[in-house]
Structures are given as C-alpha cells and as structure tokens.
C-alpha cells in the first residue's frame, strides 16, 4: 500500500489527517517519531494541530484517539 504524503498536514482536514496517520502507524511505521522524521513533520506541531480537535496520541496503541 502506498504511503499517503503528509506534506500538507497543516492544511489537511484534521479527520482525514488523523485517519491517514493512524493507517500509516498501523501499516508502515513503528512509531510516531519514525513517521514524522520520514515525512519531515515537526512532531510537536502535528500533535498540537490534532489536539485542537481533541485527538491525543496514545503511546500504547500507537494511534491518535
């Protein structure tokens, strides 16, 4: 399955963004840090953007909820 590029994460619909991130964490990456590094996304900015819609990252399940 091809990786969805997240270079426009700052302007993506947050619900589509969280879905794409969770899918990639499930299928392609072993951690949020690895995903952010690979896609050149500042992890703190990503978390802050999703927190505005009340999504928080769960380290145990490796997904935003």
Per-residue pLDDT tens for 3-61?
778 888 999 999 999 999 999 999 999 999 999 999 999 999 999 999 999 999 999 99
Number of domain units in the chain = 1
* Residue-level pLDDT at 2: 56
Asked whether residue 6 is domain-assigned, the answer is no
Domain with 57, as residue range(s), is: 14-64
Contacts of 43 (CB under 8 A, 6+ apart): 32, 33, 36
Asked whether residue 37 is domain-assigned, the answer is yes
Asked whether residue 3 is domain-assigned, the answer is no
Query: Is residue 1 pLDDT above 70, yes or no?
Result: no
* Residue-level pLDDT at 4: 75
* Residue-level pLDDT at 26: 95
Asked whether residue 50 is domain-assigned, the answer is yes
């Amino acid at each position: 399955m091809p990786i969805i590029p997240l270079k426009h994460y700052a302007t993506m619909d947050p619900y589509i963004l969280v879905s794409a991130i969770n899918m990639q964490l499930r299928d392609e990456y072993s951690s949020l840090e690895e995903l952010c590094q690979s896609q050149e996304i500042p992890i703190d900015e990503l978390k802050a953007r999703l927190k505005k819609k009340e999504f928080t990252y769960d380290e145990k399940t490796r997904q935003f909820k």
